Amino acid sequence: MTDTLIELVRALPKAELHLHLEGSLEPELMFALAQRNGIAIPFASVEEVRAAYSFSNLQDFLDIYYQGAGVLVTEQDFHDLTMAYLEKVAADNCRHVEVFFDPQTHTERGIAFGTVVEGITRALADGKARFGISSHLILCFLRHLSEEEAFKTLEEAEPWLDRFLGVGLDSSEVGHPPAKFARVFAAARAKGLKLFAHAGEEGPPEYVWEALDVIGIDRIDHGNRALEDSALVDRIVADGLTLTVCPLSNLSLCVVHDLKSHPLRTMLARGLRATINSDDPAYFGGYLNTNWVQTTQALDLTRDELLTLARNSFTGSFLPQADIDRHLAEIETVAARFAA
């Protein structure tokens, strides 16, 4: 890959559409918050934490990710976590983010729903003022818990509903298909919320079909395994749905065994609106531009593919059309500077 393409990646305006705020908790901040809140963590140093980040599947990662989130207690903690993420992606020329959080990870520990939401949304407002980054917030249900608990969370969210773009579905995929949450997603839709779900990360193509046919999702998180079913790919293309793909996450969680065999190029070639995202950057080795650069190098992505990916990040967002058009126009300006 030429240096020019790396420069193009850095210069392109981008949106990030798949990011778990709890997954942006760097070991340094984890230690600082543990100390601030008097919480014991089972690691002696930042190096020891990093050494523990070796995963053979999604569950391996989730176990350590939920444990790490235990240091988040006060509104200020959630603010600091969110602000640290925004500072990182501002440096990556990221202009818009649609971020997930997992309220049940915190309310289960006795943290008030409002503490979490107020801390995060205050930081998102600060991030807009400091970096010009616009944002949407998505509340995720933990799929290893029951639908009843998801309903309880939706009820708790009621006073803050106007702060959310929509609801998502994350955590342990296999054994917890989308249909398990059909009723709570219908209730969220009735409240005017958009619907998102992790599907086809580890789970089979049938889970992606369910996310489409039973839930009626507005965007697919990951979706890698959809490629195993060509009728499913045709359907996703026909519906114009976006896939929020996370290359370094896929590598860390052994969804792919080598970035060179990542299906991103195939997705684009099949006409899928794929995007590049970081998922849980503190755990998977890099933020937005690291995902872009490493994927570009591994797959030898072309200038045209990079421009498509940048456009997809905005056309796949839920920004107002006028904002999307403004970002797309800027992409064309940058593209002209990096003429073919």
Residue 157 structure tokens: 């969210």
Q: Taking CB under 5 A as the criterion, which residues in 255-314 touch Zn ion?
A: 279
Query: Which residue, 275 or 308, is less far from ligand ADE as judged by CB?
Result: 275
CA angle 215, 312, 218 (to 5 degrees): 10
The nearest distance, CB 170 to Zn ion, in angstroms, is 5
CA–CA distance, 87 with 69 (Å, rounded to integer): 20
Query: Which residue, 215 or 307, is less far from ligand ADE as judged by CB?
Result: 215
| Residue 75 near Zn ion by CB under 5 A | no
The nearest distance, CB 102 to ligand ADE, in angstroms, is 7
Which residue's C-beta sits nearest to ligand ADE? 170
Choose among Zn ion, ligand ADE, none what residue 14 binds, the Cβ cut-off being 5 to 8 Å by kind. none
Choose among ligand ADE, Zn ion, none what residue 275 binds, the Cβ cut-off being 5 to 8 Å by kind. none
The nearest distance, CB 284 to ligand ADE, in angstroms, is 9
Q: Which residues are catalytic?
A: 201
Give CA separation, 267 vs 180, 234, 255, 271, in Å. 28, 11, 15, 7
Query: Which residue, 164 or 335, is less far from ligand ADE as judged by CB?
Result: 164
Query: Which residue, 8 or 140, is less far from Zn ion as judged by CB?
Result: 140
Choose among Zn ion, ligand ADE, none what residue 201 binds, the Cβ cut-off being 5 to 8 Å by kind. ligand ADE
112, 330 Cβ separation under 8 angstroms: no
3-state secondary structure 238-264: HHCCEEEECHHHHHHCCCCCCHHHCCH
Q: Name residues whose C-beta falls within 8 Å of residue 267's C-beta, 6 or more positions apart in sequence.
A: 227, 243, 245, 274
DSSP string covering 272-332: -EEEE--BSHHHHT--HHHHHHHHHHHHT--HHHHHHHHHHHHHTS-S-HHHHHHHHHHHH
CA–CA distance, 54 with 50 (Å, rounded to integer): 8
33, 72 Cβ separation under 8 angstroms: yes
Q: What are phi and psi of 13, to 5 degrees?
A: -70, 140
Query: Which residue, 102 or 279, is less far from Zn ion as judged by CB?
Result: 279
CA–CA distance, 89 with 95 (Å, rounded to integer): 8
127, 94 Cβ separation under 8 angstroms: no
| Residue 102 near Zn ion by CB under 5 A | no
Choose among ligand ADE, Zn ion, none what residue 58 binds, the Cβ cut-off being 5 to 8 Å by kind. ligand ADE
Query: Which residue, 205 or 223, is less far from Zn ion as judged by CB?
Result: 223
Looking at residue 5, its amino acid is L
CA angle 149, 155, 159 (to 5 degrees): 145
The nearest distance, CB 2 to Zn ion, in angstroms, is 31
The nearest distance, CB 324 to Zn ion, in angstroms, is 23
Query: Which residue, 120 or 335, is less far from ligand ADE as judged by CB?
Result: 120
Q: Which residues bind ligand ADE (CB under 6 A)?
A: 20, 23, 58, 170-171, 198, 201, 249, 279-280
The nearest distance, CB 1 to ligand ADE, in angstroms, is 26
Which residue's C-beta sits nearest to Zn ion? 279
The nearest distance, CB 178 to ligand ADE, in angstroms, is 13
- Which spans of this chain sit near Zn ion (rule: CB under 5 A)? 279
